[in-house]
Structure 1
Amino acid sequence: MVLGMGEDEKDKVLEMGEDEEDKGLGTGEDEEDKMLRMDEDDFTLPLYQMVQGMIFAIAEINRNPYILQNVTLGFGIYDSCDTVTRALEGTLWSVSGQIGPVPNYNCKPDSHVAIMIGDSRSQVSIPMARVLGLYRYPQISYGSGALSLNDKHQFPSFLRTVPSSYLKYDAVARMLLQFGWTWVGLLAEDDDYGQEISQVLKEQFIQSGICIEFFESLPVTNMELKMEHLVELVTKATANVVLITSSDSRLYPLMAEIALQNVTGKIWIGSEEWPISLLFSKKEFFWTLQGTLWFSVHRGTIPGFQEHLYDINPLKSPEDIFTMLFWEEVFGCKWNNSKRADTLVTKRCTGSENIKGLHIPFFDPAQVGYSYNVYIAVYAAAYALHNVFTCRHAAGPFQNGSCANTGIFLPWQLFYYIKNVRFFSSNSEEMFFDQYGNPPDVYDILNWQMAPNGTLQYATVGKFDSRLPVGQDLVIHSSLIIWNRGNNKIPKSVCTESCQPGYRKATQPGKPVCCFACLPCSGGEISNKTDATECLLCPFEFWSNDKRDLCIKKHVEFLSFSDILGAPLSIVTAFSSLIPAAILIIFIRYRETPVVKANNRELSYLLLLSLILSFLCSLIFIGQPNTVTCMLRQITFGIIFVLSVSCVLAKTVMVVIAFKATNPNSPLRNWVGSKLPNSIVCLCSVIQGIICISWIISAPPFPELNTKSQNERIIIQCNEGSAMAFWCMLGYMGFLSIISFVAAFLARNLPDSFNEAKYITFSMIVFVSVWLSFIPAYLSTQGRLMVAVEIFAIYSSSAGVLACIFFPKCYIIIFKSHMNSRDFLMGKGVQKHIGI
C-alpha cells in the first residue's frame, strides 16, 4: 500500500506492501499459501479489513486539526503477492519512482515515498528490509515477527507494530507453569522461522523446568508422507498439551486428520494466529480444538471503525476493485464485469444489498486483529511527520540544532523521528519503539470455545503486558476458560505426579527431569512444598515429624526430679541414706559394747558416714546437668567410694594384724591401734584425690547437648572430658575392691572371735559384681537411662557393703543383747564362737 502525504494538494506517498496476513507474530511464512492474497481469484476478508484499517486511519488523521496541519495524507497499494521478487520489485519501484525500477536511482526526487508500511510476512519483509536499510528508508511492518529482524546491524531502518521479543516465549512458559503443565509436545514448521521459534521455546522450557516429550517438524510439502507418524505420535503421547508454531495452511492437513480420527483430550497451545483461521472454523474441528489457548496480537479497539466498515459500498467508489471483490465475497454474488472464475454463482450484485444484515467476524470490533497494527503504524508515521513539520531551527535533533527540510527531507531524517515517536493510541495505551524497533510486548490470551448454541467463539481469558512489573504482567482468568470436552477443571499434563510435602524429586537415569521419582526425606529433613527438589535440614534443636513436612522442637531429655524415673530414685536415695545414718546412731549409742568396739569402732563410724554420703551423692546425678554438677558428679562419687573401700580394706588389714598380734613375740603388735588404718584410709583417698584433681585440671567434665544418640531428642548430659581419667578413677576403685576381697577371702577362716573377714568377703563380692556389671550396662545406654544405671550401681554396691558388714552387728545389738558381751565373745557363753 502506498500512503500519500500531500502539501498544497500535491501528494507525497508512503507505501504499504500487501500480501498475506502473518499467522501470529510474523509466523507462518509460506510462499505456497495464497489464502489471503489480494488478487481477484483468492480475495479474503482479513486482508481487506487491514486495508480498510489504513484507509480509516488516514481519513481520521486528515480530519484531525492537531496533526499535520495543512498537510494531507494519501496512500497507494502495491500487492507483493506473497513473493520475494514482487516485494523487491515494488520496493525498488517506490524508491526509484518508476515502474521499471533502476536501483540506486530516483527519477522523481520531488515526489518520493516517505515511509513503507509492510510487509506482513517475515519472509517477505526481510529482503525488503535489507534493501531499504541501505538507504535508511523507514519501514514499519504490521505483522512480521521474526526474531532475526531485531538485528539492527542487518536491518537498521526496520520497525514494527507487532511485538516480537523473547518475552513472549517466556510468558508462554510461565503460562504453562501456572497451569502446572511440565510435560508437553512441540510441533513446528520445517522452515527457518519455525525452527528459530521452536529453538527459542525449547531454551525457555529448559530454563523453566518444562520437558518436551516429542518435537516434530511439519513438512512444507508432502505432508501426507509424514501424516500417519504425526497422528500416531500425538495420539499415543502422554503429554496432553501440544504447542504449535505453524501457519494455518501447513497445519490444516494434520488437524483435519486428527479431527477425522476423533482425537480429543489434547490442549493445543498456539504462539501464532492459526486458531482463528477460517480453515478451522468448520464444525468438524469444534470438539478437537475446543480449549485451545494462544497468544494473539493485542486486539485494541478502533473507535468508529465498525461504522466505517458498514459504510463500505462499491457504488461510492466504483474504481476500487477490492471493494467490488469484497461485495462478491460477502453476498455471494457477481458483478456483470467480474473476472472471477466461480461459475456456480449466478446471483448478480446490485450494490444495494443490506450490509448491516451481515453477521460475520469482519464487522466485529473485537476481531480487528492486524488491522489495529496497521492503524497504529499509520499513526506512528503521521506523528513522526508531524514532528518533522513542527521542528524549530536551532532546537532540532540534527547537527547544530538543524531540522529536516520539510520540502524534501532525507529518509534517515524521517527515520530518526519515527524511531523516537511516542504517543497514546485510541485505547489510551502508550505506543513507542524500543531499541530494536519493537513496540511494547502486549498480547491477548484467547480461548477457542464452542458456544452453547453450537457456534464458534474466541474468548479473551488473559493478557500479557510487558509494561507492567513482573508478576503483574501476565494475567490469566482460569474461570473463563472452557477446556476440551467442555470441562471447567484444568487438565493435567505431567510426566510424573507432583511430589507431596515430605518428599523430594529425584531424577531417573535416562529420563527427562520431569519424569522423576518421589523419595521421602530422611530423618531430620523436611520438604514443606510440592515438588521440592531438595529436603531442608531442620535446625539444631528441631527434628522432622512423621510426615517429614514440618520441623518440630526436639524433646529435651535428662533425669529430672519430676521424671517418672527420677522421682522414685530421689525417694530411694533419701530413704537409703537414713539406714546408715540410723545404724551410725545405734553404733554411737552402743559404742562401749564389744560388738561396736571390735575391729576399730572409728573405722566403722567413718565407713557408715561414707555410706551415707555415697547414697546422697546420687542426688547430684538427678536434675539438669550444668558445669558445677558435671564436675562434682564423678569426682564426689569416686572419692566417697574410695573412702568406703579404703575403710573396708583397713578393716581387713586390722583383722589379719589382730590375729597375728596374738603371739607375744610378733612384730605386728606394734601396728595394733588406729595409726595404721587411718594411714591406709588417708593414703588411698589421697591417691584418688590426686587422680580427680588431675582430671579437673587437664580435661574437666562439662555439660553437652547430645543430638546424635536419639534423633528426636536432645539429651543434656555430662561429657566426661577425659575418658581415660574417668576409667582410671573407676579402675583405681576396682583395684582397691579386689585387694580388699582377696585379703578378706584369705583371712575368712582365721580362728579369732573378732574376725570380720567373712562379712567383708561377701560385701566385696557384691561390690565387685555390681561394678563389673555396671560397665557393659553403662556403655550400652544413653541419656537418662545411663545416669539411672550409674545411680543403681551406687545403690547396689553401697547397700551390699552396708548389709553384709553392719546388719549382722545390728541384729546382735538389738535382738541378741546377751551375745553383745565380752564373755560371750571370748567363748565363755552358750556359743563357743559366733564369728564376729
Structure 2
Amino acid sequence: MVKGKWFVPLTFQWLQSLLLAVTEINRSDHLLPNLTLGVHLSDSCASPGRALEGANWLLTGSGHSSVPNFQCHSKYTALGGVIGDSSSASSLPLARLLGLYRYPQISYFSTSSILSDKTQFPSFFRTVPSDTFQSHGLAQLVAFFGWTWVGLMAEDSDYGLEGIRATKKEIMRSGACVAFTEYILTSRPDRNAPHLSKVIADSNAVAVVVFSSGSNLLPVVEELLRRNITGKIWIASESWSTSGLVSKGKYWEILQGTLGFALHSGQIPGFKEFLSASNPLKTPDDIYLLEFWEIIRSMRSVYFTTSDDREIYFDSNGDFPAVYDIVNWKLEPQGNVQQVKVGSYDGSAIQGKKFVVNTSAIQWTRRQKQVPVSTCSHSCPPGFRKAAIPGKPVCCFQCIQCSSGDISNQTDSNDCFRCPLDQWPNVLQNQCLPKAVEFLSFEEPLGGTLMATSITSSTIPIALLGLFIRYKTTPIVRANNYSISCLLLLSISLCFLCSLTFIGYPQHEKCLLRQVAFGMVFSLCISCVLAKTVIVVIAFKATKPDSSLKKWTGAKTSYIVIGLGVLTQLCVCVMWLSLSPPFLEHDMFSLPGVIIANCNEGSPIAFWCMLGYLGFLATISFVLAFLARRLPDSFNEAKFITFSMLAFLSVWVSFIPAYLSARGKYTSAMEIFAILSSSWALVICIFMPKGYIILFRPELNTKDNLMGKGKK
C-alpha cells in the first residue's frame, strides 16, 4: 500500500466501510456463494497521476513497479475489479485505462456526467448519481423558491464545467435567468478569488449556485470573508455541501443559510461496532483509503437489497439511482456548523414526489423568516404586465400598466387580455366587472330635471289655450286666427310632452315612437306657424281693390297649408318605419366601461330628412314673416313669427354639432334640450305678448287699437 502524506479521518471511515462490506459479502450465503473476496489497497493521494500509477500496479501484478502490457507473477489472485477513485478528475483517466481491458470499475464519489458515456467508458460503474440528475435537482430547487435571477460559479474541471453547464441549461429551461457565470481557476494559487468576489459583490443576484470541491472553493470563501461580502444564499453541489473545509464557524457569516445537495446518507448496520473493534495490532497494514463496498461479476445485472432496505442496481449507463439529501447549514450553540437534512430529491420517484423540501426547517441567512428574494426585477402585480428591457435578459423587465379595457389577474403576467364586450376592468385592472348600462333615467338628477321641466312646460300652452278660449271674442284673439292659434298651442304642448319619450330605458316600442312622434308634432306646430304667416301675408295683399287673393283669406287656406305640411312629414315617417325602423341598441364601444342603451335610428338618412323637413318649414315661415315685417304693427303678428322662427332655427342649427359630438345619455339630453328650447321660443315670441295684453293691458285689446286708431 502506498501511503499518502496526511491522515484524513473521513477517508479512514470509507476504508473501514469497504472492509466491512467485503466481510459481509464473504459471510453471506446468497450474495457471492462459494467465492471469497480479497482487497488490495492503493492511495491515490487525490492525484490523477498517482491513481493511474496504482491502477498499473494492479493490472501488472507488481506491487511497486509496473510493466505496460505485461502481467507479472503475483501472489494475488485474478483481479476482479477496481473500486475508486473518489474524484471525477481521477476516475476519468482510470476509466479509460480499465475500459481497454474491460475491468469493472466502481466509483463511490465520481459524479461527472461524462462518465455516463458507455462508448468511452464501457466498464465504469458508480454508486453515486450522475451530475445530470443533480443538475435537474438544483434547477428544481432554484425554481421551488422562486429565484429567477441566480449566479453560477464552478471550478474549471470536468466536474465543474459539465455540472454548471447542465445546471445552467435546466435553470434557463425553467424560465429563470443567469446573472453571471464565473469559474474557479484551479491552475492559479488564488483560484481567481479576487475577481470572483468582485463579481459576486457587484451582482444583485442573491442566490449563487456553486459546482466545486471544498478545497477549490476555500480560497474564494477566504476572499469573501476578507471583503466581508455577506447576504448571499449559496446553493452547494454535493462535492462541498458537507465539506469540513468550508463548513466552519469561521466562515459562518459568509455561508450561513447555505442549501445544498448531499449524497443520500443512511446507517450501515454493524458499522459502528466494526469500526470500534478495529485494532492496529490485528491489521498492521490497514491504513486510510477508499470507501464503499460492492464488487461482483455481472455488473449490469446487479440488483439486491441491503440490510437497511435500500435497493442497489445500475441503469444502462452504469449510474446509480439518483437520490440526494437536501441539507441546510445551521450553527450549533457550540459554534460548530451542522448540515441538517431539510428535504430530498429522488430522480426515480414518480412525478410530484421527486422533490420534497420542508421550508419551515430552513435557517436562512441573517435569520430571515421568509424565503429570500433573488430576482432581477420586482414582480409585476396584477393589473400590470412585464415589458422587456432592451439589452437585458428576459428576467429583467419593467412593469407597465395594462391598457384601458385590459386586465391581468396574475402576478408577473407577460400579457394583458381584454375583457369581454359586456365587461370592464375594475380600478386595479385585475378583474373584469359587468359594464354599467347607461341611459337617461327618470331617477337620476338630469333625467328627473328634464322630466319635470317638460311636464311643467306643457301646462303653459294649455293655460294659454284656456285663456284664448275664455277671451275668444276679444279683438286680439279674433285678429290672430283663433282656431289656428288654439291648434298651435295644443301642438306646442305636445311638443313639450314628446320629450318624455327620450327619458327612461329605450324599449323597442319607445324607439319606434319617439322620433316619429317628435317629427309629427313639430311638423304640425311649424305648419300652423306657416299657415298663420301665409294668412297674414294674404290678408294684407287682399286689401287692395280687385285682389284675387280675397278668396284665399278663409280658414280653408290655413287647413290646406297645415294638411300639406303634416302629410309630407307623415310620408317620410311611414317610409322610415317601413324600410329601416329604429331599434334598441347596446353600444359597447362609444364610451369605455359603459354599455349605452339607446335607440339606433335605423336609417340616418331618414332621420336627417325628417329633421331637415322641419327646418325647411321653419325657413319658409321665417322668410315670409321677414318679408311681412313692415305691415302695420298693430294689425299682424309677422314680427313675432319672425323672432320665433329665428330662435327656432338657431336652436336646431346649434343642435346638429352638439348632437353629433354627444355620447350616451347626453345625446338624448341634448335633443330634449333642443325640443324644450325651440318650443319655449314659440310660446314666448308668439303668445306671451298676447297673453300679457289680455291679462295686464286689457285697454289695448280693442279694435281701434288693433287698427292703429288708438295711437295719438
In the TM superposition, residue 560 of structure 1 has moved relative to its aligned partner by 0.7
In the TM superposition, residue 562 of structure 1 has moved relative to its aligned partner by 0.9
In the TM superposition, residue 691 of structure 1 has moved relative to its aligned partner by 3.8
- In 2, Cα distance between the equivalents of 1:707 and 1:746? 50
1:355-380 deviations in Å (ceiling 9; x for gaps): xxxxxxxxxxxxxxx96xx35xx2xx
Alignment-derived partner of residue 14 in structure 2: 50
> Secondary structure of the residue that 2:230 maps to in structure 1?
coil
Alignment-derived partner of residue 569 in structure 1: 450
- In 2, Cα distance between the equivalents of 1:601 and 1:631? 34
Alignment-derived partner of residue 518 in structure 1: 399
- In 2, Cα distance between the equivalents of 1:555 and 1:230? 60
2:710 is matched by which residue type in structure 1? Answer: Q
Aligned residues: 708
In the TM superposition, residue 621 of structure 1 has moved relative to its aligned partner by 0.8
Contact 1:185 1:243 in 2 (8 A): yes
Contact 1:584 1:608 in 2 (8 A): yes
1:692-748 deviations in Å (ceiling 9; x for gaps): 445455654444444445434333333444444433332332222122111112113
In the TM superposition, residue 618 of structure 1 has moved relative to its aligned partner by 1.1
Alignment-derived partner of residue 163 in structure 1: 129
1:831 is matched by which residue type in structure 2? Answer: G
Q: Within 5 Å, which residues of 2 pair with 1:62-461?
A: 62-64=26-28, 67-68=30-31, 70-79=33-42, 81=44, 116-130=82-96, 138-164=104-130, 166-224=132-190, 226-318=192-284, 320-322=285-287, 374-375=292-293, 378=294, 414-418=298-302, 421=303, 423-461=304-342
> Secondary structure of the residue that 2:245 maps to in structure 1?
helix
Relative to structure 1, the CA distance from residue 168 to residue 40 in structure 2 (aligned partners, 3 Å threshold; closer, same or farther) is closer
In the TM superposition, residue 170 of structure 1 has moved relative to its aligned partner by 3.5
Q: Within 5 Å, which residues of 2 pair with 1:512-551?
A: 512-551=393-432
Q: Within 5 Å, which residues of 2 pair with 1:756-771?
A: 756-771=637-652
Alignment-derived partner of residue 17 in structure 1: none
> Secondary structure of the residue that 1:625 maps to in structure 2?
coil
1:681 counterpart (551, 562, 566): 562
In the TM superposition, residue 598 of structure 1 has moved relative to its aligned partner by 4.2
Relative to structure 1, the CA distance from residue 812 to residue 527 in structure 2 (aligned partners, 3 Å threshold; closer, same or farther) is same
Relative to structure 1, the CA distance from residue 806 to residue 236 in structure 2 (aligned partners, 3 Å threshold; closer, same or farther) is closer
Residue 508, structure 1, aligned to residue 365, structure 2: no
In the TM superposition, residue 176 of structure 1 has moved relative to its aligned partner by 2.8
- In 2, Cα distance between the equivalents of 1:800 and 1:431? 104
- In 2, Cα distance between the equivalents of 1:278 and 1:92? 32
Contact 2:131 2:163 in 1 (8 A): no
Alignment-derived partner of residue 480 in structure 1: 361
In the TM superposition, residue 453 of structure 1 has moved relative to its aligned partner by 1.6
In the TM superposition, residue 797 of structure 1 has moved relative to its aligned partner by 0.8
Relative to structure 1, the CA distance from residue 177 to residue 755 in structure 2 (aligned partners, 3 Å threshold; closer, same or farther) is same
- In 1, Cα distance between the equivalents of 2:609 and 2:307? 95
- In 2, Cα distance between the equivalents of 1:39 and 1:117? 17
- In 1, Cα distance between the equivalents of 2:121 and 2:576? 86
Q: Within 5 Å, which residues of 2 pair with 1:702-713?
A: 702-713=583-594
- In 2, Cα distance between the equivalents of 1:697 and 1:126? 93
- In 1, Cα distance between the equivalents of 2:509 and 2:38? 100
1:739-786 deviations in Å (ceiling 9; x for gaps): 211111211332386523122122212212222332333334322223
- In 2, Cα distance between the equivalents of 1:546 and 1:223? 61
- In 1, Cα distance between the equivalents of 2:227 and 2:641? 102
Quick one: percent identity of the two aligned structures? Answer: 46
CA RMSD of aligned residues (A): 3.7
1:655-707 deviations in Å (ceiling 9; x for gaps): 11122122352222232334433333333334334444454556544444444
> Secondary structure of the residue that 1:76 maps to in structure 2?
coil
Contact 1:97 1:112 in 2 (8 A): no
Relative to structure 1, the CA distance from residue 69 to residue 124 in structure 2 (aligned partners, 3 Å threshold; closer, same or farther) is closer
Alignment-derived partner of residue 531 in structure 2: 650
2:624 counterpart (737, 743, 750): 743
- In 2, Cα distance between the equivalents of 1:635 and 1:494? 66
Q: Within 5 Å, which residues of 2 pair with 1:586-605?
A: 586-587=467-468, 595-605=476-486
In the TM superposition, residue 253 of structure 1 has moved relative to its aligned partner by 2.3
In the TM superposition, residue 576 of structure 1 has moved relative to its aligned partner by 2.3
Relative to structure 1, the CA distance from residue 415 to residue 306 in structure 2 (aligned partners, 3 Å threshold; closer, same or farther) is closer
2:665 is matched by which residue type in structure 1? Answer: R
Contact 1:273 1:294 in 2 (8 A): no
In the TM superposition, residue 451 of structure 1 has moved relative to its aligned partner by 1.0
Relative to structure 1, the CA distance from residue 826 to residue 574 in structure 2 (aligned partners, 3 Å threshold; closer, same or farther) is closer
1:561-580 deviations in Å (ceiling 9; x for gaps): 11111122222222222333
- In 1, Cα distance between the equivalents of 2:509 and 2:118? 79
> Secondary structure of the residue that 1:278 maps to in structure 2?
coil
2:286 is matched by which residue type in structure 1? Answer: I
Q: Within 5 Å, which residues of 2 pair with 1:765-784?
A: 765-784=646-665
- In 2, Cα distance between the equivalents of 1:626 and 1:167? 69
Relative to structure 1, the CA distance from residue 429 to residue 677 in structure 2 (aligned partners, 3 Å threshold; closer, same or farther) is farther
TM-score of the superposed pair, with normalisation by structure 1: 0.75
Q: Can you give the 5+ residue segments of structure 2 that lack an aligned partner in the other structure?
A: none
2:551 counterpart (645, 649, 670): 670
1:163-183 deviations in Å (ceiling 9; x for gaps): 225443233233234444333
Alignment-derived partner of residue 633 in structure 1: 514
Relative to structure 1, the CA distance from residue 814 to residue 282 in structure 2 (aligned partners, 3 Å threshold; closer, same or farther) is closer
In the TM superposition, residue 291 of structure 1 has moved relative to its aligned partner by 2.1
Residue 59, structure 1, aligned to residue 26, structure 2: no
- In 2, Cα distance between the equivalents of 1:697 and 1:432? 88
In the TM superposition, residue 248 of structure 1 has moved relative to its aligned partner by 2.1
In the TM superposition, residue 535 of structure 1 has moved relative to its aligned partner by 3.3
Relative to structure 1, the CA distance from residue 211 to residue 620 in structure 2 (aligned partners, 3 Å threshold; closer, same or farther) is same
> Secondary structure of the residue that 1:497 maps to in structure 2?
coil
Contact 2:135 2:164 in 1 (8 A): no
Relative to structure 1, the CA distance from residue 477 to residue 68 in structure 2 (aligned partners, 3 Å threshold; closer, same or farther) is closer
Q: Can you give the 5+ residue segments of structure 1 that lack an aligned partner in the other structure?
A: 1-36, 327-369, 386-413
Bigger mean CA deviation after superposition, 791-800 or 42-51: 42-51
